[in-house]
Structure 1
Amino acid sequence: MEITESTVQQLQEKLVQLQQEIQKVIIGQEPIVAEILVALLAGGHCLLEGVPGLAKTLMVRTLSQALDLSFRRIQFTPDLMPTDIIGTEILEEDHATGRRFFKFNRGPLFANIILADEINRTPPKTQSALLEAMQEFEITYGGQTYVLDRPFFILATQNPIEQAGTYPLPEAQLDRFLLYVKIGYPNAEAETAILNSTTGNKQVKVTPVLGAVDIQQLQQLVREVSINEDLVQYVATLIRSTRPDTSTVPYVKEWVRWGAGPRAGQALILTAKARALLKGRYAVVMEDIRAMAYPVLRHRVLMNFRAEAEHITADHVTEVLLSS
């Protein structure tokens, strides 16, 4: 897919329009929206965590409205089965010949944007059904492989405070998410604006800005954003410093059980490139790497039991590493 200079200019303008369309509905969460868009541009998936009522679902639905893409929402529950999201074979009959045959009936996973709502409420058997789709962008059923449409973007949500009847995501599946985004409460000004905009008769219409081809071109463009060799070396050093056996930082050796793998370095460089493009730049700067380090490492650095008891998180480790 060849991208001309005029196409690049048009795509940049559309990116600005996309953020404006989302901000019509989502108030005061600009950094969160930016991180979701970074995951989309980098071609990865995103895990959103926040207490109920912070517009996680509304955020994903608004994004799907601003993109001219197919959208499906899957509500994860304890009784959800893998076939409920992948699809299943049904027996059909050819009325002309009377011959019976099995036909694969596609599940909700066959869409461009998937909202996996409360993903930690479903058992590991169903959670693992997402793994192949997230990593390989295809689904295997009955010995046959079905390729998913591109772009394919999974946005999963989970609730951090209601742990009864939940199944924590396995580390292998957490690693499949490019970013782990935590949503906090809005500030006082934003909360007042939310109350004013959502309790009246005014209806906000979101206009689609980008289509499937536009997204694929942007994802290609992200990989063409330049990054200095010194910054690549910095990322490699940062990732290696999260591992207790190779780190020279005492804080890591004291509190970390497992450090981040090579996939974290790939994710950090890709998301830094995507953030640079979102900011209108075609080269990565240190600010991009420092900003994306938190959502990239948050779910890839595993703390030991003492750290969990002392409420020391992966974000604390990232902060120490970036400062040193």
Structure 2
Amino acid sequence: MGAGEQLHDWRARALQIEDEVAKAMIGQRQTVRLINVALFARGHVLLEGGVGVGKTTVLRAFARVVGGEFERVEGTIDLMPGDLVYHTYVDADGKPRIDPGPLLRHGERLSTFFFNEINRARPQVQSLLLRAMAERSVWAFDREHRFPHMTVFADRNKVEREETFELASAARDRFLFELNMPTPAEPDVRRALVFDPAYHDVDALLERLAPAIVPWEQLNAVGAAIQRDVHASETIERYVLDIWQATETPQQFGIALDDVDMSRLVLAGASPRGMSALLRAARVVAWLAGRSHLEPEDIHAVLMPALGHRVFFTPVYELRRHELAEALAAQIMARVAVP
């Protein structure tokens, strides 16, 4: 099978992943699409939302449908870095034992690592996870342990702030996407979530999903093939470079936000890594649409989730980060000349 045929076959599989996960969700199709984009762009996802909006459900659904081995860690204030690497206990004979922890116990078969409420874990724990995300390996028991196929999903409760440790901006930059999962507003969706018993038993809901529908160990190769196959014209390249400049000096493009001194808003624009992430994700969007070239709408589809957490605001505006990041992204799409 040639590369083109392989990507065509995988595109059908990718769309099947979305359709399957959507069976467990209602009113969150955009979130499902963006997580799928991140999966094939081979990036990690930080999901934020209120209590009970379905963050855990959508991540468990992806883990089941994609296949491979799944691990879940609950963020708590007493969790230590070593808890991710090894597990200590006393056996039946009263002897101390050490077993591999959640990052290590499945070896290279680990495909999905879900860190629930990451902002409840201490910075030392977050640091170890972020290093594992970047290198897809850790050093333990006198050797390197690799998990080359791992995708990290983390979620963060944006309501409760007691006993939490906010991720540093540089740490958040390690996530390809930062997604906000809203409470559904559509009356039919809200009615179904409350009155349809199917949505009240998450375990039974997930059991209905087809498990392991893709050869997950090929995701890295497929992701690399997508990046090689989808091309950007010179016009698109100039457009992306203008977007990058707009994240640094938005006033240069006539961008203005209400009640904001634009000369004091941006502390630092998107980094080269951030712009690379934007392009990786946009290529996957184009591929899912059946194209081998980038169009402006592919970039628009991922601009906010890829760059919203990568533009650093001055302290006076940081408390309004989410509101201002959304407004800035919208203005960049409106003001930067589209080819």
What TM bracket, shorter-length normalisation? 0.7 to 0.9
Distance 1:254 1:200 in 2: 49
Deviation at residue 6 of structure 1 after TM alignment = 3.3
- Percentage of pairs with the same residue: 28
Distance 2:23 2:33 in 1: 14
Secondary structure class of the residue paired with 1:219: helix
Per-residue CA shift, 1:295-323, capped at 9, x if unaligned? 01111112223324667521211112221
Residue pair 1:86, 1:129 contacting (<8 A) in 2 also: no
User: Within the alignment, does 1:315 sit opposite 2:316 as a pair?
Assistant: no
What does residue range 180-259 of structure 1 map to in structure 2 within 5 Å?
180-186=178-184, 187-195=186-194, 196=196, 197-199=198-200, 205-208=208-211, 209-224=213-228, 225-244=230-249, 249=254, 251=256, 252-259=262-269
The one-letter amino acid of 1:198's match is: Y
Runs of 4+ in 1 over 6 A off after TM superposition: 88-91
Distance 2:227 2:201 in 1: 44
Secondary structure class of the residue paired with 2:247: coil
Distance 2:47 2:69 in 1: 20
Deviation at residue 244 of structure 1 after TM alignment = 4.2
Secondary structure class of the residue paired with 2:284: helix
Secondary structure class of the residue paired with 1:233: helix
Distance 2:250 2:191 in 1: 49
Matched with 2:152 is: 154
CA 1:271–1:309 in 2, change beyond 3 Å: closer, same or farther?
Answer: closer
CA 1:200–1:238 in 2, change beyond 3 Å: closer, same or farther?
Answer: closer
Matched with 1:98 is: none
User: Within the alignment, does 1:54 sit opposite 2:76 as a pair?
Assistant: no
CA 1:52–1:199 in 2, change beyond 3 Å: closer, same or farther?
Answer: closer
Matched with 2:113 is: 114
Distance 1:35 1:77 in 2: 27
TM-score (norm 2): 0.84
Matched with 2:94 is: none
Matched with 1:100 is: none
Deviation at residue 278 of structure 1 after TM alignment = 2.1
The one-letter amino acid of 1:107's match is: G
Matched with 1:299 is: 309
The one-letter amino acid of 2:126's match is: Q
Per-residue CA shift, 1:164-190, capped at 9, x if unaligned? 111000112111000000011112222
Residue pair 2:47, 2:154 contacting (<8 A) in 1 also: yes
Q: Name structure 2 gaps, 5 residues minimum.
A: 91-96, 105-109, 257-261
Residue pair 1:239, 1:264 contacting (<8 A) in 2 also: no
Mean Cα deviation higher: 61-70 or 312-321: 312-321
CA 1:247–1:171 in 2, change beyond 3 Å: closer, same or farther?
Answer: farther
Matched with 1:13 is: 12
Matched with 1:165 is: 163
User: Within the alignment, does 1:67 sit opposite 2:84 as a pair?
Assistant: no
CA 1:315–1:105 in 2, change beyond 3 Å: closer, same or farther?
Answer: same
The one-letter amino acid of 2:155's match is: T
Distance 2:333 2:35 in 1: 22
Deviation at residue 229 of structure 1 after TM alignment = 2.3
Q: Name structure 1 gaps, 5 residues minimum.
A: 92-102
Distance 1:258 1:5 in 2: 39
Distance 1:291 1:250 in 2: 20
